[in-house]
């Protein structure tokens, strides 16, 4: 596959095309498609079930695409380019607290950890949504998942003190959806913070695909 992301076009002062191309078009479509589908799933939850489910399936489809693109996509889309271990991520967070984290042309280690968290929670939300659709799907789960603990079941109160697996899955769906929303808020805070720290509009970069070329001390 030809890799065009590293091709640095000469920065043209003030021009819309200034900078280097970092995010490829499919990655950008993935991102904004995910934002739209996630928002639609939220807004239609318990309001417009058919649309809610289709929006959830679109989220699942986009994640499936992203997993493939993380392996075969352009340079800055690849997981191998931006995934870091816990110590590198913690080191980066420590640098952030001291206000001296380095600028990354691709995702920084904290952003990368957030991407993993978002993808995992979104997958879990979509999967539990799919499970809820049919009791037969829940019945396919291993036995322990069919029931929640008696302590919890006291509140739910069904079937002699045990809540059914269906209720547990529904609860999990809601918890995961709320957790994802919390992550999205942190994601936006991270984007804002990095934009201010490195004096560049990262949200716009996710639209145009371009960022300021790496300077001295930056990680490209």
Query: 179-188: long-range contacts at Cβ-Cβ below 8 A with a sequence spacing of 24 or more?
Result: 179/121, 180/38, 180/118, 180/121, 180/122, 180/125, 181/42, 183/114, 183/117, 183/118, 183/121, 184/38, 184/118, 186/114, 187/114, 187/118
| Among residues 59, 62, 168, 169, the one that binds ligand HEM under rule CB under 6 A | 59
Contact 22, 82 (CB under 8 A): no
Tell the smallest beta-carbon distance from residue 211 to ligand HEM (Å): 8
Stretch that binds ligand HEM, among 13-21, 120-128, 143-151, 160-168 (CB under 6 A): 120-128
Q: Is 212 in the site for ligand HEM (CB under 6 A)?
A: no
Pair of tokens at residue 83: 């995934």
* 173 belongs to the binding site for ligand HEM (CB under 6 A): yes
Q: How far is the CB of 98 from ligand HEM (least distance, A)?
A: 20
Q: Quick one: which of 70, 105, 140, 112 has its CA closest to 213?
A: 105
> Interface residues with ligand HEM (CB under 6 A)?
27, 30-31, 34-35, 38, 41-42, 45-46, 52-53, 56-57, 59, 66, 77, 107, 111, 115, 118-119, 122, 125-126, 129-130, 132-133, 173-174, 177, 184, 187-188, 191, 202-203, 206
């Amino acid at each position: 596959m030809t890799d065009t992301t590293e091709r640095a076009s000469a920065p043209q002062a003030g021009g819309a095309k200034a900078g280097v191309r970092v995010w490829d078009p499919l990655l950008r479509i993935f991102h904004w498609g995910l934002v739209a589908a996630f928002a639609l799933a939220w807004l239609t939850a318990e309001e417009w079930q058919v649309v809610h489910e289709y929006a959830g399936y679109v989220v699942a489809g986009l994640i499936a695409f992203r997993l493939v693109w993380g392996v075969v996509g352009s340079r800055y889309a690849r997981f191998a380019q931006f995934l870091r271990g816990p110590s590198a991520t913690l080191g980066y967070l420590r640098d952030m607290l001291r206000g001296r984290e380095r600028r990354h042309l691709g995702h920084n280690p904290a952003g990368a950890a957030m991407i993993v968290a978002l993808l995992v929670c979104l997958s879990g939300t979509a999967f539990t949504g799919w499970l809820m659709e049919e009791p037969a799907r829940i019945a396919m789960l291993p036995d322990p998942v069919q029931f929640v603990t008696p302590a919890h079941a006291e509140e739910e109160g069904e079937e002699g003190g045990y809540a059914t697996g269906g209720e547990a899955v529904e609860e999990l769906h809601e918890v995961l959806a709320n957790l994802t929303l919390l992550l999205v808020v942190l994601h936006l805070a991270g984007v804002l913070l990095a934009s201010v720290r490195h004096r560049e509009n990262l949200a716009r970069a996710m639209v145009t695909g371009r960022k300021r070329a790496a300077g001295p001390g930056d990680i490209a």
